[in-house]
Chain A
Amino acid sequence: METTVVESPVNYINHKHTVASWLLTYDHKRIGILYLIVVSTAFFLGGIFAALIRLELTTPAGDLLSADVYNRMFTMHGVTMVFFVLVPAVPAVLGNFAMPLMIGAKDVAFPKLNLMSWYIFTIGFLFTVTSMILGGVDTGWTFYTPYSSQGSESNVLITGIGVFITGFSSILTGLNFMVTIHRMRAPGMTWFRLPLFIWALYATSLVMVLGTPVIAITLLMLVFERGLHLGIFDPRLGGDPVLFQHLFWFYSHPAVYIMILPPMGVISEVIACFSRKNVFGYSFVAFSSLAIAVFGFLVWAHHLFVAGISPYSALIFSFLSFAVAIPSAVKTFNWTATLYKGAIWWKTPMMFVFGFLGLFLIGGLTGLFLASLGLDIHLTDTYFVVAHFHYIMVGGAIMGYFAGLHFWWPKMTGRMYNDTMGKMAALLIFVGFNLTFGPQFILGYLGMPRRYHVYPPEFQVLNVLSSAGASILAVGYVLPLFYFLYSLKFGEKAGANPWKATGLEWTTQSPPLAENFPATPIVTEGAYAYSKREMKVA
């Protein structure tokens, strides 16, 4: 039942050409592309730092980077990847592009604010890049006091201000998305007909709106503490450095859910489309997003188990950290159940979904090790932790981001990329990732601490494996850059709906019109009305 979409030669990309028409655009689709450019730049920058870290760790001696330079490398890797890639990647790039299309709106509720968010984001990024050019930061991305407020001689102020500024972009995007989802849905688009990606974005926005202001004020306190030595976080003057950790993680743990919830939404979209089935237990998946957002605010102190918090509160936070695994498990089981008896279509986006499922499973389960009080004392600040959160953030979030990028690329650009190349990239990333971070679990268990540029020689074999994996991973990440850019010019025309997907965004032409739809769509059925018989395509 192919609908005929009247293709207009004019679309959101070619209706205006000037640079100003991009830099002053209020169009959510163009703003999504603007984010894509900055986020990709940050991703490659952060990748270079990671490459230097892995290169240094191929030998036990500190022969490539000095201890001080090494500190700066892992700090800038963390700052860049967390604040300028993981947090904005899916919501700001894919969310901006696809969300209004998916709910049948002409734009987000506040288009000017949306553009302003991008400028705030970019200015924050430029601050951070400036601090790197001036020599970088060495505090770790966590900016722990009192080292960051007194000890460090690096550019904490500029980086802190950069991250502070960027926070407002996140707050305003979350606000914009929540209002859009509440007020801009097309006629007939009820809450329970919403695609699950929208539910995930809604839950994410909730975390952005409630959590980000707290990190903003915390960084502001840090900046003043460092500038004026007020004593707020200085134990010598009666201040409490652990207060900083509490405030920091009150945002930064929920921020993990800012990073992982939107990719989870992507997984729901892609898995339904490429299994030709409704997502199993739609409302469970929808509400588990909200549950993660809510529980996510109640677990932050599990980062402080060794910081001297009371054993009773540690017990409660340990329990809650176990509890937050339940909604994530609900999602994973439901995705797996969606595959069951589905007509699975082996295309690139689906390859990334399978990668996500495997890696997120390991990342999630190793999180339970760290939620256990006894084990956590052994594993805190070791490579086990590094491996765990990379499995969540890179194996989970970036995999999901790539799944989404490969899923919506034809819609964004109107062109198909090379599917074989895409599958190769997915495979390289999966293999390379496991080789990079798998050995780090063992290293951490054996006691190798994180954030050191030297290590005992008996750890070398595992470290060399890890660095070898990282080089495979790098190839996997660079490959899409080439076939995506190639597809812009030489890719096959995608047509309105190359994946035969349900969802409003596939009912308009690719690339969409500037105003999204020729006329406001009316929705009459749920998000995933797939039928397996339609599968006989491609």
Chain B
Amino acid sequence: MPNGTIAAHEEHHGHHHPALQHHFQDLDQQHEAATLGMWLFLVTEVMFFGGLILAYTLYRIWYPTAWALGSEELNIYLGGFNTIVLIGSSLTMALAVRSAQTGAQRATVGWLLFTIALGLTFLVVKFFEYKEKFELHHVPGPNFQFEGPQSPHVQIFFSLYFALTGVHALHMIIGVGLMSTLTFMAYRKRFTPEWYTPVELGGLYWHFVDIVWIFLFPLLYLVDRSHHII
């Protein structure tokens, strides 16, 4: 019964990297497992947002006028500004990963802090956008108000607007939390060119959240801004 015969497979008990967990053979295996895990997680995220975007698509096809009316209510300047902020944060994130990879530990901390600052900027701007919607009674629910016969359908638009941007903002908040942890770890000089997996995975997550916004901005803010169609 050769299968399962315990061959003389030396477990090396020599020098272990402090980050190596006991159930992995080596850092490579650990890194590959973690990376695959993160990619799979992002796939689940695509499906998660996908359900909402399906609902969005259906109702946009059914109620194009309401979609145009609702979209016009959104503040395109704040939304556009936030788009630039997030794209910038993806650059700083990429530079943080690069710094970790080359062992530039101080630069890693710096770029991570920069990324956090841009993330917080996004959230603050988003907060003011939401605040404006509350004041205008554009938040779906019992207090929703919108002039005209399209009102119920515009409410569906705003429901999906809040669902999509709300879930996205939640991801941003979690992202800022992750970045703070990474900054702390980088500050403690935990990352070396040999092992910087968490920075890389944090980067994957951050870029994903960024890409979601790249889709949300045109879907929500840029539906139809030519007045004469309506």
Q: Which residues of A contact B (CB under 8 A)?
A: 1-3, 105-107, 109-111, 171, 175-176, 178-180, 182-184, 187, 209-214, 216-218, 220-221, 224, 228-232, 236-240, 243, 247, 250, 502-504, 506-507, 515, 517-525, 529
**Apart from A175-B37, A184-B33, A229-B141, what 20 extra A-B contacts exist at CB < 8 Å?**
A3-B4, A106-B22, A107-B23, A175-B44, A178-B40, A213-B44, A214-B47, A220-B163, A224-B159, A228-B141, A228-B142, A237-B153, A238-B59, A238-B156, A504-B3, A506-B4, A507-B3, A519-B6, A519-B9, A524-B2
Q: Are A529 and B3 in contact (CB under 8 A)?
A: yes
Q: Are B152 and A231 in contact (CB under 8 A)?
A: yes
Asked whether any CB of chain A lies closer than 8 Å to the CB of B41, the reply is: yes
Residue of A nearest to B151 (CB): A237
Residues of B within 8 A of A504 (CB): 3-4
Distance between Cα atoms of A42 and B153 in the complex (Å)? 42
Distance between Cα atoms of A262 and B7 in the complex (Å)? 31
Task: Tell me which of B48-56, B122-130, B193-201, B222-230 binds A.
Answer: B48-56
Residue of B nearest to A534 (CB): B1
Residues of B within 8 A of A106 (CB): 22-23
Asked whether any CB of chain A lies closer than 8 Å to the CB of B117, the reply is: no
Asked whether any CB of chain A lies closer than 8 Å to the CB of B217, the reply is: no
> Nearest 8 pairs between A and B by C-beta?
A507-B4, A213-B48, A217-B51, A213-B47, A230-B159, A106-B23, A228-B141, A107-B23
Residues of B within 8 A of A519 (CB): 6-7, 9, 11
Residue of B nearest to A218 (CB): B51
Asked whether any CB of chain A lies closer than 8 Å to the CB of B29, the reply is: yes
Residue of B nearest to A110 (CB): B37
Residue among A176, A240, A518 making CB contact with B58, cutoff 8 Å: A240
Residue of A nearest to B156 (CB): A231
Residues of B within 8 A of A179 (CB): 33, 36-37, 40
User: What distance in Å separates the Cβ of B208 from its nearest Cβ neighbour in chain A?
Assistant: 14
Contacts known (A171-B44, A175-B44, A230-B159); A214 close to B51, Cβ less than 8 A: yes
Asked whether any CB of chain A lies closer than 8 Å to the CB of B63, the reply is: yes
Residue among B32, B63, B155 making CB contact with A230, cutoff 8 Å: B155
Q: Which of B1-53 contact A (CB under 8 A)?
A: 1-7, 9, 11, 22-23, 25, 29, 32-33, 36-37, 40-41, 43-45, 47-52
Q: Are A237 and B155 in contact (CB under 8 A)?
A: yes
Residues of B within 8 A of A111 (CB): 23
Q: Are B156 and A239 in contact (CB under 8 A)?
A: yes
Contacts known (A1-B1, A230-B155); A213 close to B51, Cβ less than 8 A: yes
Residues of B within 8 A of A231 (CB): 140, 152, 155-156, 159
Residues of B within 8 A of A522 (CB): 5-7, 9
Q: Which of B136-163 contact A (CB under 8 A)?
A: 140-142, 152-153, 155-156, 159-160, 163
Distance between Cα atoms of A334 and B51 in the complex (Å)? 37
Residue among A105, A220, A247, A521 making CB contact with B6, cutoff 8 Å: A521
Residue of A nearest to B139 (CB): A228
Q: Are B47 and A210 in contact (CB under 8 A)?
A: yes
Distance between Cα atoms of A110 and B140 in the complex (Å)? 40
Distance between Cα atoms of A250 and B3 in the complex (Å)? 41
Residue of A nearest to B6 (CB): A519
Contacts known (A109-B37, A229-B142, A522-B7); A209 close to B152, Cβ less than 8 A: no
Distance between Cα atoms of A524 and B7 in the complex (Å)? 11
Residues of A within 8 A of B63 (CB): 238
* Chain A CB within 10 A, most for which of B4, B43, B163: B4
Q: Are A523 and B11 in contact (CB under 8 A)?
A: no
Q: Are A213 and B55 in contact (CB under 8 A)?
A: no
Distance between Cα atoms of A171 and B45 in the complex (Å)? 10
Residue of B nearest to A529 (CB): B3
Residue of A nearest to B63 (CB): A238
Distance between Cα atoms of A3 and B50 in the complex (Å)? 52
User: What distance in Å separates the Cβ of B34 from its nearest Cβ neighbour in chain A?
Assistant: 8
Distance between Cα atoms of A179 and B140 in the complex (Å)? 41
Residue among A221, A228, A515 making CB contact with B55, cutoff 8 Å: A221
Q: Are B3 and A523 in contact (CB under 8 A)?
A: yes
Contacts known (A210-B47, A230-B156, A231-B155); A517 close to B23, Cβ less than 8 A: no
Residue of A nearest to B143 (CB): A228
Residues of B within 8 A of A250 (CB): 51
Residue among B48, B50, B55 making CB contact with A243, cutoff 8 Å: B55
User: What distance in Å separates the Cβ of A241 from its nearest Cβ neighbour in chain B?
Assistant: 12
* Chain B CB within 10 A, most for which of A182, A213, A518: A213
Q: Are B9 and A520 in contact (CB under 8 A)?
A: yes
Residue among B4, B25, B41, B55 making CB contact with A175, cutoff 8 Å: B41
Question: Please, could you name 13 A-B residue pairs with CB atoms under 8 Å apart, sorted by A?
Answer: A106-B22, A109-B33, A110-B37, A175-B41, A230-B156, A231-B156, A250-B51, A502-B3, A504-B3, A506-B4, A507-B3, A524-B2, A529-B3
Residues of B within 8 A of A187 (CB): 9
* Chain A CB within 10 A, most for which of B9, B45, B167: B9
Q: Are A209 and B43 in contact (CB under 8 A)?
A: yes
Residues of A within 8 A of B152 (CB): 231, 236-238
Q: Are B33 and A230 in contact (CB under 8 A)?
A: no
Contacts known (A1-B1, A107-B23, A183-B29); A230 close to B41, Cβ less than 8 A: no
User: What distance in Å separates the Cβ of A293 from its nearest Cβ neighbour in chain B?
Assistant: 14
Mark B55-74 against chain A: 1 for CB-CB distance below 8 A, else 0.
Answer: 10011001100000000000
Distance between Cα atoms of A304 and B78 in the complex (Å)? 42
Contacts known (A231-B156, A239-B156, A247-B51); A518 close to B6, Cβ less than 8 A: yes
User: What distance in Å separates the Cβ of A305 from its nearest Cβ neighbour in chain B?
Assistant: 20
Contacts known (A107-B23, A179-B37, A209-B40); A525 close to B3, Cβ less than 8 A: yes
Residue of B nearest to A244 (CB): B55
Contacts known (A182-B36, A217-B52, A524-B2); A105 close to B44, Cβ less than 8 A: no
Q: Are A209 and B44 in contact (CB under 8 A)?
A: yes
Residues of A within 8 A of B54 (CB): 243, 247
Distance between Cα atoms of A184 and B163 in the complex (Å)? 38
Residue of B nearest to A502 (CB): B3
* Chain A CB within 10 A, most for which of B5, B54, B159: B159
Contacts known (A519-B11, A524-B3); A210 close to B141, Cβ less than 8 A: no
Residues of B within 8 A of A224 (CB): 159, 163
Distance between Cα atoms of A240 and B59 in the complex (Å)? 9
Distance between Cα atoms of A180 and B30 in the complex (Å)? 11
Q: Are B3 and A211 in contact (CB under 8 A)?
A: no
Residues of B within 8 A of A175 (CB): 37, 40-41, 44
Residues of B within 8 A of A171 (CB): 44
